[in-house]
Chains A and B, each alone.
Chain A
Amino acid sequence: MSKIIAVHSYKGGTGKTSLSVNLSATFAKMGKKVCIFDLDFRAPSLFAILKTPNADHWLNDYLNNTCEIDKTLIDLSSRLSGNGKFYACLANPSTEAIRDMSSKDRKWEMRALGRLLALRETMLRDQKFDYLVFDTSPGLQYSSINAIVAADFVTVATTGDRSDVDGTKRMLAELYNLFEKKTGLVLNKVLDPSATAKKTEMQNKIKIDYQVPLLGMVPCFCEILRAEGNLIFVQDKPDHPFTKIVAEMARKIDNDEVN
C-alpha cells in the first residue's frame, strides 16, 4: 500500500537527510516508485547531496500555488540500479527563497498543508507513486508539523545526546500523541556496538523510554562521515552494514511491521 513518510527529529544533525535519502533510494532499489521531498525550507540541502541540475521549479512554487507538482519533479532513476523510479522535489536554496518561506503567515501555512495533503491524490493515486518521503526541518517548525500531519508514518531520528533525548521524548508525548501518528524511532550514531546486538532488549527499552516502537539502530560509521554526503550510500556501498540496516527498516515499513 502506498504511503507518505515524514522523517523528523527534535534537534538538527541527527541524520534525517542521510536517512531520508538512503531510505528513499532503498525503496527505489526494491522496485518502488519513490519521490523524496526537501521540506527543510530554512536550510535546503537535498540539491547539494543529490547533485541535481539547476531546477526550473521548486517545491516552494508548488506550495505557493504557482505551478503543479509535475513541474518540480526531477527524475534521478538512472543513478540507481534496479527497475525502481527515484524522483526528487527540492526546496529552493536561494537566500531570497529562504527569507520568503520564513515570513509566511498562518493562512499560507494552512493552504500549504492543503497542497501537501493533495499529493495523496495527484501522486499516490493518479501517478501511482509507492512512497513519498518528506525530509523535514528539525523541531517544531510549521513546515515540519505540516509534513507530520500529511504523513501516514513518521520516522523520528534521535541520538544519545542528552539534550536530544529529553526534547525528543517531550515532542513525541506532546506533539505526536495529539496527532495520533504512527511513528517509528531510529536511534542514530549509536556508539556502543554491543547495543545493536541486544536487539530485543533495546526494543523494549526504547518502547518504555519513548513510548514508540524502535524502527532501527544505526551505529556510528566513520565511512558515512568520510563520504561527506557525496554519495547515495546504499547504492555505492551495497555490502556495507549501514545499507543492510536501512534495507531492514524499509522492509519493516513496507510490510507494516513497526509495532
Chain B
Amino acid sequence: MIRNELSNKKPLNILEKIEESLEKLNDKMEIMIEIQKNGNGNNNQKAALSLPDASLDVMTLLSMPDHLRKTAMTICRCNRATAEEISEHTTRARAVESAYLNQLVIMGYLKKERKGRKAYFFIDKETQS
C-alpha cells in the first residue's frame, strides 16, 4: 500500500516541479522581453528602468498606460498579492496580470518575492523613503 502511495506521489511531484520551473522560466522570459523592448527605444520606460525604486504615487498612476494602471491600482488596494488574486479583482486572465505585474517590477514600481510555488507582488514602502 505504501509503495502504491509513493508511486502515485512521484509523478505528481515531478509535474509540480516542472510547473514551478516553467513559471520561473516564464518570469525570466518576460523580463528579457521587457529589456529588449526598452533597448528598442522607449524613453519613458528607460527612465523608469533607471530608477530601481520608482514611487507608485497618483501622478505616476495617471501617466501610466490604461492596462498597467488597472493592475497598479489594484495592488495599491491589496498591498501584497499574487497574480491570481489581482486577476480576481480585475477580471482579466492570470497570465495577463502576471505579465503586467512583472512589467511593473522591471519598471521599479513593485517588488516580487517567491514563497514556495507562489510569487507575491508588493509595493516596498520601506525602501521608498
Contacts and interface: CB of A to CB of B under 8 A. Distances in A.
A117 B62 contact: no
A109 B58 contact: yes
A145 B73 CA distance: 13
Contacts of A146: 58
B57 interface: yes
A107 B129 contact: yes
B128 A107 contact: yes
Given A107-B128, A107-B129, A111-B128, A179 B73 contact: yes
Contacts of A117: 76-77
12 contacts: A106-B57, A107-B128, A109-B59, A110-B123, A114-B125, A146-B58, A149-B58, A149-B73, A178-B66, A179-B61, A179-B73, A180-B70
Given A113-B76, A117-B77, A178-B66, A106 B123 contact: no
Contacts of B69: 178
Given A110-B55, A111-B128, A117-B77, 18 more contacts: A106-B55, A106-B60, A107-B55, A109-B55, A109-B58, A109-B59, A110-B123, A111-B125, A113-B76, A114-B76, A114-B79, A142-B57, A142-B58, A146-B58, A149-B58, A175-B62, A178-B62, A178-B66
Nearest to B78: A117
Contacts of A114: 76, 79, 123, 125
A146 B77 CA distance: 12
A151 to B, nearest CB: 12
A145 to B, nearest CB: 4
Interface of B: 55-62, 66, 69-70, 73, 76-77, 79, 123, 125, 128-129
A178 B125 CA distance: 24
B72 to A, nearest CB: 11
In the A-B complex, the 3 residue pairs with the smallest Cβ-Cβ separation, listed nearest first, are A110-B57, A145-B58, A110-B55
B77 A145 contact: no
A107 B127 CA distance: 10
Contacts of B56: 110
A146 B73 CA distance: 11
A109 B73 CA distance: 15
Nearest to B70: A180
B57 to A, nearest CB: 4
A106 B56 CA distance: 8
Contacts of B73: 149, 179
A109 B57 CA distance: 6
B30 to A, nearest CB: 24
A179 B57 CA distance: 13
A142 to B, nearest CB: 7
B55 to A, nearest CB: 4
Contacts of B129: 107, 111
A24 to B, nearest CB: 23
A219 to B, nearest CB: 34
Interface in A209-235: none
Contacts of B123: 110, 114
